[in-house]
Structure 1
Amino acid sequence: MSKLESAKGFKHSKPGLMLGIGGSAFGAFGIVKDIRRARTEADTLKLINAAVGALALVTSTLLLVRELRRLSQDDVLAD
């Protein structure tokens, strides 16, 4: 297996999924900062933008968690 093929498989591996969840958690700090700034400035459009970003972040995290659970169920050695 070449390095490129193994790198493509990393995205769907347990460490790759955990890294994705960690990245989503790190992105939450930026969303919180955007929401606070929008409230301070009383900017409704920025607040809506931050809320939509938060919703996208939650959705992507839930997708990663679901994929991680499926990966654990398929793993015979996980039991």
Structure 2
Amino acid sequence: MSKKPKSKISTYFSIGGSLIGAFGVVKQVREAREEQDTLRLVDAAVSAAAIVTTIALLTRELRRMQRDGDDVLSD
């Protein structure tokens, strides 16, 4: 399966969306701590790890685009 190239702008929007999702995770952590709900705290930690991984992958993609000049919208 071929990977569709992304533009830098869409990659930035994806990073922004992930960062907005981080606010929800912070809220979930606060609520889980207040209620002393270990399972919800673990769920929040897994969600946070997913967000960090997503941002790292998108950042790597941006660096690759800058190095290779692979921006779809640059033409």
One-letter amino acid of the counterpart of residue 29, structure 1: F
**1:75 aligns with one of 62, 69, 74:** 69
SS in 1 for 2:16: helix
1:19-58 to structure 2, matched below 5 A, reads: 19-58=13-52
TM-score (norm: length of structure 1)? 0.80
How many aligned residue pairs are there?
67
TM-score (norm: length of structure 2)? 0.85
Cα drift, residue 75 of structure 1: 1.5
Structure in which a larger fraction of residues adopt helix: 1
Cα drift, residue 18 of structure 1: 0.3
Residue matched to 1:18:
12
Q: Structure 1: which 5+ residue stretches go unaligned?
A: 1-7
After TM superposition, which residue ranges in structure 1, 4 or more long, deviate above 2 angstroms? Answer: none
Equivalent pairs: percent with the same residue? Answer: 54
Residue matched to 1:4:
none
1:2-13 to structure 2, matched below 5 A, reads: 9=5, 12-13=6-7
- 1:61 and 1:23 map into 2 onto residues whose CA distance is 10
Q: Structure 2: which 5+ residue stretches go unaligned?
A: 71-75
Residue matched to 2:59:
65
Q: CA RMSD in A?
A: 1.4
Larger Rg: 1
